Chains A and B, each alone.
Chain A
Amino acid sequence: MTAFLDVRDLKVHFPTDDGLVKSVDGLSFQLEKGQTLGIVGESGSGKSVTSLAVMGLHTAGQYGKRKARISGEIWLDGTELLAADPDHVRRLRGREMAMIFQDPLSALHPYYTIGKQIVEAYRIHHDVGAKAARRRAVEMLDRVGIPQPDKRVDSYPHEFSGGMRQRAMIAMSLVNNPELLIADEPTTALDVTVQAQILDLIRDLQREFGSAVVIITHDLGVVAELADDILVMYGGRCVERGPADELFHEPRHPYTWGLLGSMPRLDRDQQERLIPVKGSPPSLINRPSGCAFNPRCPYADVPKDDVTRTVRPELTEVGGRHWAACHMSAEQQKRIWAEEIAPKL
């Protein structure tokens, strides 16, 4: 019995002149219907590359003449997508799985009206007439909270504000009732008051449609709002995964600690100083040996039982449904979090 979305040992490598860029290097996760998975990480950690791989959007010709090298397995509702016939994947894309992109201005076509673009997405997958499809588009625009949807359906993207465009994008991706929705930084381009509106909308729509949602973001506040489970990516791999509550209150990986310490928080008393992660993200071509976080990890020198630093730590279960990839023992992780990190946050 596999999960609704089951990604196993996914690798996405891009050949470049400088070498092989290992954007995603062995990522596995599962997601059930009605659940939300938040993927967090910094730029270049492989979050977006993962989502494009699930959608089957890494194809030939996209990166010059070179193909992305993808291996592993992606199971969606019992079908393996990577080995499947591209035509079959195309039929699924948009109907079974849909995506909300970060920048609605570049994801919407400037030449066509909003309505036309939604109608197109609907009619590709449904054998309906133009009128019925238009009715559906108006209905969707109404559902995502666009005022006067019967008029705005004929507007062009440039006539919409940023928040309205993002709503239109959401309407377009939900028009076929997809069972899997991937939102890649859906609110990063938006102001905070509009972001609150959009997050609310995504939450309501998920409740209504019961889809599985993957939300990709660098903002821990956003995942805390939406996600049931959180996956922290670093250098193309998962370093920690677990229920949202545990990840925020009992995180185990030093990188997760670093993310939490870097963030100024409105819900706490003023911190004297932020605790940044020193250094910069790793090269994806010459990955540090052993744990990719090793050069930046303040606890790299903590003595560990019979482990050499050149061995890459595997994800191990540290609690119920909670995994971390760190050489420190569970007791060490717990102790350092409780004694050294948590009091400073």
Chain B
Amino acid sequence: MTISERSDGPSPALVPAKKHDGEALLKVTGLRKHFPIKKGLFQRQAGAVRAVDELDFEVWPGETLGVVGESGCGKSTMGRLITRLLEPSAGTVEFEGRDITHLGVGAMRPLRRDVQMIFQDPYSSLNPRHTIGTIVGAPFRLQRVSPAGGVRKEVQRLLSVVGLNPEHYNRYPHEFSGGQRQRVGIARALALNPKLVVADEPVSALDVSIQAQVVNLLDDLQQELGLTYVIIAHDLSVVRHVSDRIAVMYLGKIVELADRDSLYRAPMHPYTKALMSAVPIPDPRRKNAKSGRILLNGDVPSPISPPSGCRFHTRCWKATELCGTTEPPLLEVRHGRQVACHHPENVDDPAPPDAALLTATKEAFERLWTGDPAGSEPMR
């Protein structure tokens, strides 16, 4: 599945930081979720929301895979599928080499120790009638695990790990601020020493100063406990900060999957490029540079009847006839870089040597923000 095996091989900078020998922790093949739309007296199926369509990716032990996309692109559905909170319509999910796609509730239970989730909204994901101690201790009860030293002691240890006061064991969620609640959610996810943590928008409900605290916490925990994360978020700067590899989703598909640095340095899919150019830059001196922003037309099409061919072709400034008819598969164009596009950007930029990397990064960003003369006129 390789478009062009380059004989010169990738430059060291383009090789993902971690070598992936051995087995992927999570392997997803052809994953699909269609939510049926039912109509009429007999609940005849009238169509389907194609929330997630044919996803293929792996998550390697110890890495952070970031998943970005706009609302409705299927990223949350994807998170719920890999944690098996939703039943996939097709495809397989393998965890540590074992097919868990259609395991029942009972068969999934032992696996729940290894796969945990952190939710977006710290207000609705904690039961208001339970104390923090009960909430964080619930995984032990459900899994019938008795930690050394007792549940209470273990819960207090977890609370201090996430930076909360262990003496707050008997308090209720409403006594905590948003950032503290999110820490409670993290403590609960960590209770059983999971291998994989799926975090769905873990910081988007938090203020920026608190957001930074939680991002740093997730970072520290990964280093200390060797966790593997799948972090789903819409904020590109947060995703860049936390991820090793990043998958960009559009209308239920992965359009680009690459390691962080090469993705941000030279995005290949036009959608990735547009998405990155749309992020407001917190620097008033760059106001003039913003004329290079790629403004996409209109809104994301409906996932009920996605466009034919490439799903992005209706909003893409590079679209040709081919894009409207043939769907581009997600191909590995270079080592560690997969992109689903007939006319990818930045495909021929020579891999810069390590020393020149910094300047190249800066230039790439300049190019991006000041408007690339090579045919990326903003589309109006």
**Footprint of B on A, CB under 8 Å?**
42-43, 147, 161-164, 191-197, 199-200, 218-222, 224-225, 227, 244-245, 248-249, 258-267, 269-271, 273-278, 280-281
Q: Is the CB of B281 within 8 A of A191?
A: no
Q: Is the CB of B275 within 8 A of A225?
A: no
A-B contact pairs, 18 of them (CB 8 A): A192-B70, A193-B70, A193-B295, A199-B280, A248-B284, A263-B208, A264-B212, A266-B236, A266-B279, A266-B365, A270-B241, A270-B261, A271-B241, A275-B212, A276-B209, A276-B211, A276-B213, A277-B213
Interface size for chain B: under 10, 10 to 19, 20 to 34, or 35 or more residues? 35 or more
Determine the chain A residues whose CB is within 8 A of the CB of B209 once the complex forms. 42, 258-259, 262, 276-277
**What's the nearest-Cβ distance from chain B to residue A193, in Å?**
5
Across the interface, A193 reaches (CB within 8 A) one of B180, B264, B284, B296, namely B296
Determine the chain A residues whose CB is within 8 A of the CB of B296 once the complex forms. 193, 197
Q: Is the CB of A273 within 8 A of B219?
A: yes
Q: Give A278's nearest chain B residue, CB to CB.
A: B213
Q: Is the CB of B287 within 8 A of A225?
A: yes
A199 to B280, CA, bound (A): 9
Determine the chain A residues whose CB is within 8 A of the CB of B325 once the complex forms. none
Q: Give B280's nearest chain A residue, CB to CB.
A: A221
Q: Is the CB of A220 within 8 A of B240?
A: no
**What's the nearest-Cβ distance from chain A to residue B284, in Å?**
4
B2 at the interface (CB under 8 A from A): no
Determine the chain B residues whose CB is within 8 A of the CB of A43 once the complex forms. 178, 207
Determine the chain B residues whose CB is within 8 A of the CB of A261 once the complex forms. 212
B276 at the interface (CB under 8 A from A): yes
Determine the chain B residues whose CB is within 8 A of the CB of A164 once the complex forms. 299
Q: Is the CB of A221 within 8 A of B240?
A: no
B369 at the interface (CB under 8 A from A): yes
Determine the chain B residues whose CB is within 8 A of the CB of A258 once the complex forms. 209
B149 at the interface (CB under 8 A from A): no
Q: Is the CB of B237 within 8 A of A265?
A: yes
B311 at the interface (CB under 8 A from A): no
B216 at the interface (CB under 8 A from A): yes
Q: Give A260's nearest chain B residue, CB to CB.
A: B282
The 10 closest A-B pairs by CB, nearest first: A221-B280, A276-B212, A262-B212, A277-B209, A264-B241, A274-B212, A196-B278, A191-B70, A42-B207, A244-B284
Given contacts A260-B282, A276-B210, contact A269 B358 (CB under 8 A): yes
Among B270-299, those with CB < 8 Å from A are 274-287, 290, 293, 295-296, 298-299
Q: Is the CB of B215 within 8 A of A193?
A: no
Q: Give A164's nearest chain B residue, CB to CB.
A: B299
Q: Is the CB of B283 within 8 A of A42?
A: no
Q: Is the CB of A224 within 8 A of B284?
A: yes
Determine the chain A residues whose CB is within 8 A of the CB of B241 once the complex forms. 264, 270-271, 274
Q: Is the CB of A248 within 8 A of B282?
A: yes
Q: Give A38's nearest chain B residue, CB to CB.
A: B284
B127 at the interface (CB under 8 A from A): no
A161 to B295, CA, bound (A): 17
Determine the chain B residues whose CB is within 8 A of the CB of A277 once the complex forms. 209, 212-213
Q: Give B365's nearest chain A residue, CB to CB.
A: A267
Across the interface, A267 reaches (CB within 8 A) one of B70, B212, B238, B283, namely B283
Given contacts A259-B208, A267-B281, contact A192 B234 (CB under 8 A): yes
**What's the nearest-Cβ distance from chain A to residue B320, in Å?**
22
A278 to B180, CA, bound (A): 12
Determine the chain A residues whose CB is within 8 A of the CB of B275 once the complex forms. 192-193
- The interface centre, meaning the residue of B210, B234, B261, B276 with most chain A CB atoms within 10 A of its CB, is B210
Q: Give B215's nearest chain A residue, CB to CB.
A: A274
B179 at the interface (CB under 8 A from A): yes
Interface of B is mostly: helix
Q: Is the CB of B299 within 8 A of A194?
A: yes
Q: Is the CB of A221 within 8 A of B279?
A: yes
Determine the chain B residues whose CB is within 8 A of the CB of A245 once the complex forms. 284-285
B346 at the interface (CB under 8 A from A): no
Given contacts A280-B177, A280-B179, contact A267 B369 (CB under 8 A): yes
B361 at the interface (CB under 8 A from A): yes
Q: Is the CB of A218 within 8 A of B179?
A: no
A225 to B369, CA, bound (A): 13
A42 to B212, CA, bound (A): 13
Given contacts A196-B293, A200-B295, A263-B237, contact A221 B282 (CB under 8 A): yes
Q: Is the CB of B215 within 8 A of A264?
A: yes
A261 to B295, CA, bound (A): 28
Across the interface, A192 reaches (CB within 8 A) one of B236, B285, B299, B362, namely B236
A222 to B290, CA, bound (A): 12
Q: Give A192's nearest chain B residue, CB to CB.
A: B278
A219 to B369, CA, bound (A): 19
A179 to B105, CA, bound (A): 60
Q: Is the CB of B180 within 8 A of A264?
A: no
Determine the chain A residues whose CB is within 8 A of the CB of B177 once the complex forms. 280-281
A41 to B286, CA, bound (A): 22
Q: Is the CB of B208 within 8 A of A221?
A: no
Q: Is the CB of A192 within 8 A of B210?
A: no
Q: Give B72's nearest chain A residue, CB to CB.
A: A191
Determine the chain B residues whose CB is within 8 A of the CB of A227 once the complex forms. 284
Q: Give B211's nearest chain A residue, CB to CB.
A: A262
A161 to B72, CA, bound (A): 12
Beta-carbon contacts of B233-271 to A below 8 Å, as 1s and 0s? 011111011000000000000000000110010000000
Beta-carbon contacts of B136-156 to A below 8 Å, as 1s and 0s? 000000000000000000000
A197 to B298, CA, bound (A): 9
**What's the nearest-Cβ distance from chain A to residue B120, in Å?**
14
B125 at the interface (CB under 8 A from A): no
Beta-carbon contacts of B70-90 to A below 8 Å, as 1s and 0s? 110000000000000000000
Given contacts A192-B70, A264-B215, A266-B276, contact A220 B299 (CB under 8 A): no
Given contacts A264-B237, A273-B219, A280-B177, contact A42 B278 (CB under 8 A): no
**What's the nearest-Cβ distance from chain A to residue B270, in Å?**
12
Across the interface, B282 reaches (CB within 8 A) one of A196, A220, A270, A276, namely A220
**What's the nearest-Cβ distance from chain B to residue A227, in Å?**
8
Extra contacts besides A260-B282, A264-B215 (6): CB < 8 Å? A42-B209, A200-B293, A220-B208, A222-B280, A266-B236, A270-B261
**What's the nearest-Cβ distance from chain B to residue A207, in Å?**
13
**What's the nearest-Cβ distance from chain A to residue B177, in Å?**
5
A245 to B276, CA, bound (A): 23
Q: Is the CB of A280 within 8 A of B210?
A: yes
